A = this chain, B = another copy of it.
């Protein structure tokens, strides 16, 4: 674990902190589509991504509708978790492995110690908050100012970007779930995007040529 940590984080954290992480942290791996953490779960550990990608979702309390908020990637941590850790509240969000994902879990109390002790950790934590707040703002902009077609195209390019491939494997129904829309609407708009030459449709697969 020390080796992987050094690989990923040697330019982010000082050697001493990385060693401490390796000795205290708990290595975990998750298969695609595994729920890593759900709404209402209480949180005692903070996840730090080593490889893979996690999607963060929100759920409608009433009808169970879902909404994709943003992705976490290597080097990211979950700011929502930071808070839950510090205040011992429950998780407000659902975290699902988008692909095969490795991470280390770090116990809460260490988190606070390190903020006082390590300059690099402090910077990392605040940068995480910043990134997350900005991702939330982006999600809000997207919902408030874009129509469903724009949201859909953004969803596709984001997903291709995360997969590092123009071909994304997903059904229309899945997309509808993550955008809190309905399958028919998504199919309709996908057809429109195809007619406009922006994507190509196949069974269980969508080509998004210009995703970067």
Chain A interface mostly helix, strand, loop or mixed? helix
Residue pair A140, B67 in contact (C-beta under 8 Å): yes
Interface size on A, residues (CB 8 A): 34
Task: Determine if B58 and A141 form an interchain contact, defined as CB atoms under 8 angstroms apart.
Answer: yes
> Is the Cβ of B133 less than 8 Å from the Cβ of A58?
no
Q: Out of B79, B122, B143, B144, which one reaches A133, CB within 8 Å? A: B79
Chain A 88-110 residues near chain B, CB threshold 8 A:
89, 92-93
Could you show 28 A-B contacts with beta carbons less than 8 Å apart? A58-B137, A58-B141, A62-B145, A67-B144, A69-B140, A79-B133, A82-B129, A83-B129, A83-B130, A86-B126, A86-B130, A87-B126, A87-B127, A87-B130, A92-B137, A93-B137, A115-B122, A116-B116, A129-B129, A132-B133, A133-B136, A136-B136, A136-B140, A139-B140, A140-B140, A143-B143, A144-B180, A145-B180
